[in-house]
Amino acid sequence: MSSIQIIGGGLAGLAAAYQFEKSGVDYELFEASPTFGGKVASSQVGGLLVDAGADNFLARPPVIQRFIQELGLGDSIELPQAKDPVQIYKEGELFPMPKGTYLGVPLMSSDEPVDVEPATTIGAAIRKEFSADVADYLVEPLLGGINASEIDNLELQSAAPKFAEAIENHGSLRAGLAKTVNISSQLPVFYGLKGTSMELVDAIVERLNPAKLHLDSPINELDPDRLTILATPAHASAGLFDPNSEIGQELSAIRYTHVGQVTLIFDESDVDPVLNSPGIVFPLKESKLISACSWLSAKWNRYQLPGKVVIRLTTGKNGADSHIVGPDQLSDTALTEALISELSEVVKVGEPESLRVVRWSNALPLYEVGHSARVGRIRQLAPINIAFAGAAYDGIGIPACLQSGILAAKSVTE
């Protein structure tokens, strides 16, 4: 029997390889690019190593706790340091995120059931139980920002499974979250790593047999007789099937959005005000190119330089990303100037000492209504020797991708 083939060296593919390595299962991993990690990456900005993708991850999922322990990363864990809450931009002013919220949703006791159909959007669920302002100014910039999408287009079951579970089990989101979310818990919500999120990628790769890892090695054809895990984005996986086949069409139907980031380092004297907050979110309703400003030097110790301010400006949501990638994209200079101009409505900045522009083409899958059903059909249509793993199927974020890879590895060996 030939070794199991893993196509894709992002977190899901690496997690599958790690599972095989621990279990003594023979495998080979093929990654088309020259680096591992997928959308987890880091690079230098003015001599400082800065995340180019996710700078944090959920701390509580058991899978991430297990990886941290097994990889010996306990001493590298970093907790967010900012003293003030996230700031919300509204009509040229900043307002703090209210206390007592979970992902922007107010936590309040209620036993009154509200009939919210689970297979609907996050926006519909929020608007049915709360005000339009809660949806547009609290939930949208957080959950919409995390998913680089609009909450009125995000399927509740796929993009916010905890919300869907709360409604199903307790009759309403309000009642469900009140009974299941403990905001007074001393457990951290997010972790970071002192060496950037790439420290996790590097730690996994170090525990894999280098003879089984192949960079710059695209796979253009599937072997029908070989067990294979497809841990590539849906559009890349689609290219390995007949475009007229049902599975090829279902994979191609999963849309993605582009995301752009501009990371800047300023002298502290050139920034007014200097925030002690994780950052600023810019709701979609405000019609800005900028969707968020992460105040990295307030958020993480690893980005604190004496007398300097390190921030990252993010842009891109579905239907509003043509300025990032494509024929109408802005130049690096024009994109930087546009985002700084919008930030300057509430934070005045001078000339940056250093900057980096990162454009993630097809950064995140869009969990549109019907996504979970589509994923189910893809897995039903898949040849018996094929398993799928990654953000397109099982959730975005570092813990979700790790778990997806592990489950795929187990599925092909059971």
Domain contains 167: yes
- Statement to judge: residues 342 and 242 lie in one domain: no
- Statement to judge: residues 218 and 282 lie in one domain: no
SS3 sequence of 252-302: HCCCEEEEEEEEEEEEHHHEECCCCCCEEECCHHHCCCEEEEECHHHHCHH
CA 132 from chain centre, in angstroms, equals: 25
Residue 171 tokens read as 């009759």
Q: Nearest CA to 139 among 151, 147, 148, 129?
A: 151
Distance from C-alpha of 141 to C-alpha of 68, rounded to nearest angstrom: 29
Residue 213 tokens read as 């890892």
DSSP state of 2: P
Q: For 194-209, what is each residue's pLDDT tens digit? A: 999 999 999 999 999 9
Residue 359 host element (H or E):
strand 354-365
Q: pLDDT value at position 109?
A: 66
- Statement to judge: residues 302 and 380 lie in one domain: no
- Statement to judge: residues 275 and 376 lie in one domain: no
Q: pLDDT value at position 60?
A: 87
Alpha-carbon dihedral sign for residues 218, 222, 228, 231: positive
Of the three residues 349, 365, 381, the one that is the final residue of a domain is: 365
Of the three residues 180, 213, 228, the one that is the final residue of a domain is: 180
Q: pLDDT value at position 188?
A: 79
- Statement to judge: residues 113 and 145 lie in one domain: yes
CATH code of the domain covering residue 175: 1.10.3110.10
Residue 413 host element (H or E):
helix 398-413
pLDDT values of the chain reduced to their tens digit, one per residue, 414 residues: 689 999 999 999 999 999 999 999 999 999 999 999 999 999 999 999 999 999 999 998 999 999 999 999 999 999 999 999 999 999 999 999 998 888 899 987 665 555 545 548 999 999 988 999 999 999 999 999 999 999 999 999 999 998 998 888 888 888 888 888 876 666 778 999 999 999 999 999 999 999 999 999 999 999 999 999 999 999 999 999 999 999 999 999 999 999 999 999 999 999 999 999 999 999 999 999 999 999 999 999 999 999 999 999 999 987 778 899 988 899 999 999 999 999 999 999 999 999 999 999 999 999 999 999 999 999 999 999 999 999 999 999 999 999 999 999 999 998
- Statement to judge: residues 353 and 314 lie in one domain: yes
DSSP state of 139: I
- Statement to judge: residues 295 and 351 lie in one domain: yes
Distance from C-alpha of 365 to C-alpha of 272, rounded to nearest angstrom: 36
Whether the full predicted model's pTM is greater than 0.85, yes or no, is yes
Domain contains 271: yes
CATH code of the domain covering residue 23: 3.50.50.60
Distance from C-alpha of 290 to C-alpha of 283, rounded to nearest angstrom: 9
How large is the greatest C-alpha to C-alpha distance in the chain, in angstroms? 65
Domain contains 76: no
Of the three residues 127, 149, 180, the one that is the final residue of a domain is: 180
Q: pLDDT value at position 77?
A: 96
- Burial class of 367 by CB neighbour count within 10 A (0 to 12, 13 to 18, 19+): buried
- Statement to judge: residues 243 and 376 lie in one domain: yes
Q: pLDDT value at position 1?
A: 62
- Burial class of 378 by CB neighbour count within 10 A (0 to 12, 13 to 18, 19+): buried
Please state, in angstroms and as integers, the Cα–Cα distance from residue 321 to each residue in 64, 267, 279, 404, following that order. 31, 30, 21, 27
- Statement to judge: residues 317 and 263 lie in one domain: yes
Distance from C-alpha of 15 to C-alpha of 201, rounded to nearest angstrom: 9
- Statement to judge: residues 240 and 212 lie in one domain: yes
Please state, in angstroms and as integers, the Cα–Cα distance from residue 56 to each residue in 77, 169, 278, following that order. 10, 30, 12
Domain contains 78: no
Q: For 229-261, what is each residue's pLDDT tens digit? A: 999 999 999 999 999 999 999 999 999 999 999
Number of domains present in the structure of the chain: 3
Domain contains 59: no
Q: pLDDT value at position 119?
A: 46
The residue assigned the tokens 């047999």 is 209
- Statement to judge: residues 244 and 387 lie in one domain: yes
What is the separation, in whole angstroms, between the first and last Cα of the chain?
15
Ramachandran area for residue 89 (φ above 0: left; ψ -120 to 50: alpha; else beta): beta
DSSP state of 352: -
- Structural domain boundaries enclosing 16: 4-39+196-254+367-413
DSSP state of 185: -
- Statement to judge: residues 270 and 355 lie in one domain: yes
Domain contains 66: no
Domain contains 209: yes
- Give residues with Cβ within 8 angstroms of 231, minimum separation 6: 6, 7, 8, 9, 10, 12, 13, 16, 388, 389, 390, 405, 408
Q: Nearest CA to 312 among 52, 66, 17?
A: 52
CATH code of the domain covering residue 268: 3.90.660.20
Domain contains 237: yes
Distance from C-alpha of 88 to C-alpha of 80, rounded to nearest angstrom: 18
